[in-house]
Structure 1
Amino acid sequence: MARIGEVQAPAATRDALARGRLRASLVPDLLVEARRIVNTVIAGWHGRRKRGIGENFWQFRPYVEGDASRIDWRRSARDDHTYVRDREWEAAHTVWLWADPSPSMLYKSTGAGVSKQSRALVLTLAMAELLSRSGERIAWPDLTDPFTARNGAERIAAQLMHAGELPAKPDLSNIRRFCDIVIASDFLDPVEETMAWLDVLARHGVRAHLIEVADPAEETFPYAGRTEFTDPETGDKLTAGRAEMLADEYRLLYTARRQELAGWCKRLGWSFTVNHTDRLASDALVRLHMAMTADGGHAGIIAGDQPRPIAKGDQPGKAVA
């Protein structure tokens, strides 16, 4: 019978060097894909600039009674209206980007177009490209310091290609207030562990945007018959004589984990969205843009992709999950 999914070879060996080489080989193509996606959504991307204290001209707007802004008499002399000159708000703001490098992210089912790792890297590199074009400062925890550059995505891609073993969870304690962070992961760790790791961001007043990258087989559990499951993190194995008997309980636990994490994000004013690897990456990018530009600095919860039935091509059989 056909396999439901597979873990690419480096995950099976749990060899950090092999995983690093795989990532290095993927990054150039993923950077090209990220730029292609950016070009499809860039028309609606207007950055996060606004009027405020600064040196650069922002816009002219009609004067209203009580407005403390300075009237621009030269512009007002052109017609019968009175205008004020706004300057562009300038503030040091950094967006941190991170894609989960753990072995579980290498999973790719037959119903998915790409692995979870590939999708997470494409999303973060696409965000780096968009933010760089908007003049934002970007950074990658434990890899780069914050910087501003038009080729920000390319610089991060180069760092990822030459990086050795990346930490499973980077140190987030140096990320401070008024920063944003975009985190792309499958978030399959126990919810309590994920919350404990991210709690430092909440205490520092950082606004986080979580993207759960999900493989369709992980959500629908399309397994039946005798099936062997392998944990890509530890190598532990579980053999189920009739895997279909586990389906209902598994889906209940899987959904409860997601709902608990999403609810926690909503209470903190963070955004949480889901992107399935059998759907477009650009969908998640658009929703992320909406969250990051939301008024008031609180994006709330973004629904994301909805669950879908098992892909027609998936057949029950031996799997590595």
Structure 2
Amino acid sequence: MLIGGHGRRQSGMGDEFWQYRPAQAGDPGRAIDWRRSGRSDGHYVREKEWQAAQSVHLWVDLSASMSFTSGKAIPPKSDRAALLAMALSILLMKGGERVSLASLGTPPRIGTLQLRRIAEGLSQQGEADYGAPDARLFLPHARALFLSDFLGPIEAIEDAVGMASDRGISGVLYQILDPAEEAFPYQGRTVFTSMSGTVRHETLRAGDLRDRYLERLAERKDHLSRIAHHAGWRFATHHTNGADLPALLWLYEALEGPR
């Protein structure tokens, strides 16, 4: 198979066998598979499956929410998202894929200059509490990856995935959470403040909120999973205290796997 190539289920350029067909007038002699032809009375041509490079759109949530970290030894969600997006872009381009960063509003490209653009785009930081993907510029039949905590309004995620799916785009929703957001370890008097500072909530009994919070988080994950399932996408959650290499390999496999 061509590196980075994806089978199109029709004959054309490629290395993978597609089918035998009877030789026709105009076929060059070198195209005839003499071994297959020797088993019958006719001449047969061995066709290969057409393969082409794939376009991949990356949306990385650059909102204030993604800058959260619960400890000095744990990277912010934005750092982990940027690291995965950059490493994945390099892997995909080495495989011949064209990649774009949705926030740049430019088409998928390949090469060192495109990697530099993506790196610069990932260094930006939004001011809003939560980000929302925009799939309007995604190419039909491409692939897409959304990297976010997905803690903001879920309707925006649902709309973007629906729009992409309608264009024949397959993809991945990859949720990145800080371990504290998963475990809710807070007790006693606690002040919760949004990363932009626009929302503030103080409680004297934070532990009493834990069960309700975990229930809401489970509901959010289930909703994201159903959005992905209905669109033929994949969904997974990654925690910032976890290893980045297994996450990168999973994402690469998820995007490069069968459609």
TM-score range, shorter chain: 0.7 to 0.9
Are residues 254 and 264 of structure 1, via their aligned partners in 2, closer, same or farther at CA, if it must alter by over 3 Å? same
User: Equivalent of 1:289, from 249, 252, 255?
Assistant: 252
Counterpart in the other structure of 1:217: 180
| TM score, norm. by length of structure 1 | 0.66
Q: Please tell me whether residue 106 in structure 1 is matched to residue 64 in structure 2.
A: no
Are residues 234 and 220 of structure 1, via their aligned partners in 2, closer, same or farther at CA, if it must alter by over 3 Å? same
3-state DSSP class of the match of 1:98? Answer: strand
Q: Does structure 2 conserve the Cα–Cα contact (< 8 Å) formed by 1:132 and 1:151?
A: no
3-state DSSP class of the match of 2:192? Answer: strand
Deviation digits for residues 202-261 of structure 1 (CA, Å, limit 9, x no counterpart): 222221211100110001000001000001245221111011111111111111111111
User: Equivalent of 1:176, from 128, 133, 139?
Assistant: 139
Q: Does structure 2 conserve the Cα–Cα contact (< 8 Å) formed by 1:102 and 1:233?
A: no
User: Equivalent of 2:54, from 89, 93, 96?
Assistant: 93
Counterpart in the other structure of 1:313: none
Say what the alpha-carbon RMSD is for the aligned residues: 3.2
Counterpart in the other structure of 1:67: 20
Counterpart in the other structure of 2:189: 226
User: Equivalent of 1:153, from 92, 100, 115?
Assistant: 115
Are residues 231 and 128 of structure 1, via their aligned partners in 2, closer, same or farther at CA, if it must alter by over 3 Å? same
Deviation digits for residues 157-210 of structure 1 (CA, Å, limit 9, x no counterpart): 14445x686884353212132011111000001333421343322222221211
3-state DSSP class of the match of 2:50? Answer: coil
Aligned pairs (5 A) from 1:292-303: 292-295=255-258, 297=259
Q: Does structure 2 conserve the Cα–Cα contact (< 8 Å) formed by 1:112 and 1:216?
A: no
Question: 2:219 is matched by which residue type in structure 1?
Answer: A
Q: Please tell me whether residue 241 in structure 1 is matched to residue 204 in structure 2.
A: yes
**Post-superposition offset of 1:289:** 2.5
3-state DSSP class of the match of 1:108? Answer: coil
Q: Does structure 2 conserve the Cα–Cα contact (< 8 Å) formed by 1:129 and 1:151?
A: no
Deviation digits for residues 96-128 of structure 1 (CA, Å, limit 9, x no counterpart): 012100001001112862110000001111111
Question: 1:285 is matched by which residue type in structure 2?
Answer: L
Counterpart in the other structure of 1:12: none
What is the percentage of aligned positions where both structures have the same residue?
31
Question: 1:153 is matched by which residue type in structure 2?
Answer: L
3-state DSSP class of the match of 1:169? Answer: coil
Are residues 136 and 191 of structure 1, via their aligned partners in 2, closer, same or farther at CA, if it must alter by over 3 Å? same
Counterpart in the other structure of 1:31: none
Q: Does structure 1 conserve the Cα–Cα contact (< 8 Å) formed by 2:62 and 2:122?
A: no
Question: 2:68 is matched by which residue type in structure 1?
Answer: Y
**Post-superposition offset of 1:87:** 4.2
Counterpart in the other structure of 2:26: none
User: Equivalent of 2:95, from 134, 142, 165?
Assistant: 134
Instruction: Give the total of aligned pairs.
Output: 243
Counterpart in the other structure of 1:252: 215
| TM score, norm. by length of structure 2 | 0.80
Q: Please tell me whether residue 277 in structure 1 is matched to residue 234 in structure 2.
A: no
Find the aligned partners of 2:125 and 2:72 in 1 and give their Cα distance: 31
Q: Does structure 1 conserve the Cα–Cα contact (< 8 Å) formed by 2:31 and 2:46?
A: no
Q: Does structure 2 conserve the Cα–Cα contact (< 8 Å) formed by 1:58 and 1:87?
A: yes
Q: Does structure 2 conserve the Cα–Cα contact (< 8 Å) formed by 1:209 and 1:270?
A: yes
Find the aligned partners of 1:58 and 1:283 in 2 and give their Cα distance: 30
Q: Does structure 2 conserve the Cα–Cα contact (< 8 Å) formed by 1:187 and 1:212?
A: yes
RCO comparison, higher one (Cα < 8 Å, 6+): 1
Structure 1: where are the runs of 5+ without partners? 1-45, 298-321
Question: 1:146 is matched by which residue type in structure 2?
Answer: P
Find the aligned partners of 2:137 and 2:252 in 1 and give their Cα distance: 24
Are residues 119 and 164 of structure 1, via their aligned partners in 2, closer, same or farther at CA, if it must alter by over 3 Å? closer
3-state DSSP class of the match of 2:220? Answer: helix
Q: Does structure 1 conserve the Cα–Cα contact (< 8 Å) formed by 2:162 and 2:231?
A: no
Counterpart in the other structure of 1:318: none
Aligned pairs (5 A) from 1:76-91: 86-87=47-48, 89-91=50-52
Which shows bigger deviation, 221-230 or 275-284? Answer: 275-284
